[in-house]
A and B are shown apart, each in its own frame.
Chain A
Amino acid sequence: SAVISQKPSRDICQRGTSLTIQCQVDSQVTMMFWYRQQPGQSLTLIATANQGSEATYESGFVIDKFPISRPNLTFSTLTVSNMSPEDSSIYLCSVVGGQSLSGTQYFGPGTRLLVL
């Protein structure tokens, strides 16, 4: 399995500001994803972070609001831009372990964001 760390683990931010969340994996992985989990809800995929190219966003999520970087096979960042209270959620980094395209998917510990 892959060991995933996220920074920060939690933050309280003012509306209109931006926060960048970092995801570090202990091994090279094929796929990296970013999810949002609103309070008491299930997981919603924001985007797939593609190494060396632009991220692939799901319906309802746009690059201007959630810019993503993935400079290599072990690291990615998600920025939540121009935040509003509706952005208060848990943001989760997720990876498919190893180089296998049919591998299992693992999640990081999450970043708990509160926007005031």
Chain B
Amino acid sequence: GENVEQHPSTLSVQEGDSAVIKCTYSDSASNYFPWYKQELGKGPQLIIDIRSNVGEKKDQRIAVTLNKTAKHFSLHITETQPEDSAVYFCAARWGNNAGNMLTFGGGTRLMVKP
């Protein structure tokens, strides 16, 4: 089955700096890669996702890049703010059928210092 590795497990940055979180996956058939943000006491919220037919996707300060050959994808947050502090999870899914399961990475705790 699919295996998703996420690094780093914790990341501390200064407000205004950029943050990068990386994930690798094992199943070359995976073609959907979402990122979730989980704030303390809340459920995971989808912040951005990418499908395997594109290499990069941006939404304001957030971007995701995908390297299918190397089987890794990354989340980039620019101009970090204290409210970006949360746990971030990457995930991967194969096939176009949502009945196929998402496999999650282990999570990254991001701390943005004011």
Contacts and interface: CB of A to CB of B under 8 A. Distances in A.
Nearest to A59: B1
Interface string A64-108: 000000000000000000000000000010001000111111111
B110 to A, nearest CB: 15
A30 B98 contact: yes
What does DSSP make chain A's interface, helix, strand, loop or mixed?
Answer: loop
B107 A104 contact: no
A90 to B, nearest CB: 8
Interface size bucket, A side?
Answer: 20 to 34
Contacts, number: 49
Given A104-B49, A105-B34, A48 B99 contact: yes
A43 B99 contact: no
A31 B98 contact: yes
A45 interface: yes
Nearest to A9: B41
Contacts of B29: none
Nearest to B43: A107
Contacts of B99: 31, 48, 101
A92 B101 CA distance: 15
26 contacts: A4-B43, A31-B99, A41-B106, A42-B104, A42-B105, A42-B107, A43-B104, A45-B101, A45-B102, A48-B99, A92-B43, A92-B44, A100-B98, A101-B97, A102-B96, A102-B97, A103-B98, A104-B49, A105-B34, A105-B46, A106-B46, A107-B36, A107-B43, A107-B44, A110-B42, A110-B43
Interface of B: 34, 36, 41-46, 49, 89, 96-99, 101-102, 104-107
Interface of A: 1, 4, 30-31, 41-43, 45, 48, 58, 92, 96, 100-110, 112
